[in-house]
Amino acid sequence: MKARYALLTSCLTCLIFSQASAGEQGNIGVGVKAGTLGIGAEVDLGLNEILHLRGGANYLQFSFDSTVSNIDYEMEPEFKNASLLLDVYPFSGSFRITGGVFINNNEIALTGSPREEFWGDSTIPSNYSSVVDPLKDSIKLNGTVEFNTFAPYVGIGWNSNVEQERGWGVSFEMGVLFQGAPTVSSLTLAAAPPLDAYTDNPIILQALEHEKKAIEEDLDYFQYYPVASLMFHYTF
């Protein structure tokens, strides 16, 4: 996915700058922004008084904790995406309606540690308890959550420099990124010896498949990702 994202981002950059090189002075803007998709940069090409074409890229990394099936997870989203958007200024003023597509390389890395309640819910034969109990803290679940590569986007915004006069301007935008339901692409179990010999046991693998579904349900709200950003830009 990373190679595909890099290729598509390169193509998008070439498209934006080839369009920009053909534009008239005062029709091209560049800017930096910050928001719920992290930090980013954009190029804005004013096609006419009503239509603007924008392309950009964003990066965001953060972490949060969540508990699923009595397993405590540290989740670390890393969002890398590029956008191609069309702005429509229906009243030839500062208000705009935006639609377009994001090229996603959004992932969530996760690391899980079973709670004490987890062991209370499980049935471990008494003859194995003496082996399992000292090694409980070494048991970890590691996985990756992914989303759709192509994500539609709709939003509304406001631009202080819609007239495309040379100089600085500011814009604000809010919308929704439809990046699809989360998919756990991998989930593995790690443990210290001698428990590591059982991490690929069919019973363990079946349990991991059930855990994948539980994680996907827990993160289901990510499929409709809220977007809000503030951008400072300069028009040439």
Q: What is the pLDDT of residues 37-84, one digit of tens each?
A: 999 999 999 898 899 999 999 999 999 999 999 999 999 999 999 999
Q: What is the pLDDT of residues 150-183, one digit of tens each?
A: 999 999 999 998 777 889 999 999 999 999 999 9
- Side chain identity at 214, as an amino acid letter? A
Contacts of 102 (CB under 8 A, 6+ apart): 81, 82, 83, 150, 151, 152, 153, 177, 179
pLDDT value of position 196:
83
Pairing of strands 28-35, 224-235: antiparallel
Domains of the chain with CATH codes: 2-235 (2.40.160.170)
- Dist. CA 144–CA 71, nearest whole Å: 16
- Dist. CA 97–CA 88, nearest whole Å: 5
Q: What is the pLDDT of residues 83-110, one digit of tens each?
A: 999 999 998 889 999 999 999 999 999 9
